[in-house]
Structure 1
Amino acid sequence: MRIVDTHLHLIYPDRFSYPWLATKPRLNWQPWTHEAYFAEAVPLGIETALHMEVDVAEADIMGETEFVLGLPRIAGAIAACRPEHMNFVDQIEQLSEHAHVKGVRRILHESPDDLSQSDLFIENIRHLPDYDLSFDLCLRDDQLYLGVALAQRAPDVTFILDHCGNPIPNGSGLDPWRASITEIAHNPNVVGKISGLVNHCDPGWTAETLRPYVEHMIEAFGWDRVLWGSDHPVATVTGGTLTDWVKATREIVSGASPDEQARLFHRNAERIYKI
């Protein structure tokens, strides 16, 4: 079963500034290049990937986007953005000049809760369908209500919920995350991305650690509104590898039909991100 990775991070500290990496020593010790990623990914069935912005310094947003779009096997990019700024429409107009920019993301899980709820923020993201762009939501599990509000106030925008809404398997666990996912999935303009789960696990996680979370995402969103992403290399910080995550996901969904698996691993990505 071939895979389209909808959430690949590439890190080139010699080219761009990543202020947040100063607190992430396990990621900040080397470049994370497309050559190294695809050397591991291709044998796993990953044919192509979408690059997910890596929260570069604001001055590097356009540079990061243009650089990754020139790399082999990168089918498109989800670029960083700042919907809280008055010049947001100018920014997405510039981004949309690149045909392979598929969407945008503003990191919200480390931002004040009210950032995404202002009238300016909402009005700005309502412009995204005019440019055929989606919006990736990165929220903590205790912030999912913010995503519900966004989805309801901008019903024409396609939102992709990253990392299963960031549950904490070795912390708060399934509840109240499970009810929050069910609530946000009731909004038909929200898609669930199965990624990032292992970031919140203790080392030694297995497919069974992740199974209830993956299965609830599929139950809540349905097979037509789920995507798969690696979140590489962030997913390696708890001791696992890209290979481990791919094998675990395949094991969890092994009982699904080939058609259902194809929707998760590549068909939905091609449709939703217009690859």
Structure 2
Amino acid sequence: MTVERITDTHCHIIDRTVLDYPWLSDAPALDRDWSIETYTQEARQAGITRTLHMEVDVATDQIDNETDYIAGLADRQESLICGIIAACRPENNDFGDQIAAAQAHPLVKGFRRPLHVVPDALSEQPLFRDNIRQLATAGLPFDICVTARQLPQAQRLVDAAPQTQFILDHCGVPDIAGAGWNSWAAEITALSQRDNLSVKISGLPAYAQAGWTARDLERWVMHVVEQFTPARCVWGGDWPVCTLGGSLTDWVSATRSILAKLSTQERAAILDENATHIWGLT
């Protein structure tokens, strides 16, 4: 049987010898280097054929340095990195310059500003929303990273920029270990009505109880797929954060098991083809 291609839309490389990551001091389980070599070896074995690097919330003054560093890794022979989702600061007046720099960089395919680590009011500011609306013209999608309680906030941002393409990271960060189903499921259903929003099936191993199985994750994944349809879902490994609940290999295996009930075409869309369309990959 042919193993289906996987585009990993969410890989983090951490190199503390090159960049500063202020948040790592509060995450001791992740507070070390996570190299491209380590990721690549496991990713290839798991069937991942290409990767988008997701910004890792480096120190603000090193955002451009992170992009340049990852671009250097992408230039290596047989690198899996096919694009970069770069950090940005839509709350700043110079956001137009950030857009221009991204458009001039062939590997930058989109932006993310993590919203779960800043005050909720940040994305409600007129400047922030005006800047996010500019991404539509620039053709740069925006990843939304919020916790489950912030899903109404995500909905307001998506509604404020109806021409911008958004991707909801980590299925909206459900509390799987705490069985926080009802409000999360309702918010996912509401968000799925926004045509300019897709969802990333990622992150779930870190939110489940230790020793989780594919069956433990299945209803959470399938609710997202059923509400957004396979046409608006992509997949992400979220390495190395996924190691908090297992391994990248475990997550790939669980994903294949959960999605096995879908058609070949639907699986191909989620695991590979939708990413090509959203981020303009080649």
Look up the match of 2:76: none
Are 1:82 and 2:114 an aligned pair? Answer: no
TM superposition shift of 1:66: 1.5
Measure the CA separation in 1 of the matches of 2:70 and 2:274: 22
CA contact (8 A) 1:69 1:75 kept: no
Secondary structure, in 3 states, of the residue corresponding to 1:76?
A: strand
Partner of 1:9: 12
Partner of 1:219: 226
1:23-42 equivalent positions in 2, closer than 5 A: 23-28=26-31, 30-42=32-44
Residue 253 (structure 1) aligned to one of 255, 259, 267: 259
Query: How far apart, in 2, do the equivalents of 1:268 and 1:95 lie?
Result: 21
Q: Does 1:196 align with 2:203?
A: yes
TM-score normalised to structure 2 length: 0.95
Q: In structure 1, what is the Cα distance between the partners aligned to 2:64 and 2:219?
A: 38
Misfit runs of 4+, over 3 Å: none
**Structure-1 separation of matches of 2:53 and 2:264:** 26
Matches within 5 A, 1:148-227: 148-227=155-234
Residue equivalent to 1:63? 65
Q: Does 1:229 align with 2:231?
A: no
Shift of 1:172: 4.6
Instruction: Give the whole-Å Cα distance in 2 for the aligned partners of 1:14 and 1:244.
Output: 29
Q: Any idea what the Cα deviations from partners look like across 1:74-101, whole Å, max 9, x if unmatched?
A: 1000000010111111112112211121
Q: List gaps (5 residues or longer) in structure 2.
A: 74-78
Q: String of CA shifts for 1:197-217, please: whole Å, max 9, x gaps.
A: 111112101101100110000
Give the letter aligned to residue 27 of structure 1.
L
Number of residue-to-residue matches in the alignment: 273
Contact 1:134–1:159 under 8 Å retained in 2: yes
Q: Secondary structure at the match of 2:96?
A: helix
Cα distance in 1 for residues equivalent to 2:177 and 2:45: 31
| Structure 1 position 104 matched with structure 2 position 107 | no
Q: Shift in Å at residue 70 of structure 1?
A: 2.4
- d(CA) in 2 for partners of 1:132 and 1:76? 14
Secondary structure of residue in 2 paired with 1:102: strand
Taking the aligned partners of 1:254 and 1:231, their CA distance within structure 2 comes to 21
Could you tell me how far 1:67 is from its partner in structure 2?
A: 1.3
Q: Hey, what's the Cα distance between the residues in 1 that align with 2:115 and 2:202?
A: 17
| Aligned-residue offset at 1:173 | 2.0
Shift of 1:185: 1.0
Aligned to 2:98: 91
Q: Output the CA distance in 1 between the equivalents of 2:41 and 2:189.
A: 37
- In structure 2, give the amino acid aligned to 1:129: A
TM-score (norm 1): 0.97
Amino acid at match of 2:23: W
C-alpha distance in structure 1 between counterparts of 2:65 and 2:142, whole Å = 20
1:142 aligned residue: 149
Q: Structure 1: how far apart are the matches of 2:36 and 2:209?
A: 27
Contact 1:62 1:95 in 2 (8 A): no
Q: Percent identity?
A: 46
SS of residue paired to 1:10: coil
CA-based RMSD: 0.9
Secondary structure in 1 matching 2:223: helix
Instruction: Output the CA distance in 2 between the equivalents of 1:152 and 1:26.
Output: 36
Alignment partner of 1:49 is 2:55: no
Aligned counterparts of 1:134 and 1:268: Cα–Cα separation in 2:
13
How far apart in 1 are the matches of 2:135 and 2:153? 18
Structure 1: gaps of 5 or more residues:
none
Q: Is the 8 A contact 1:3 1:48 kept in 2?
A: yes
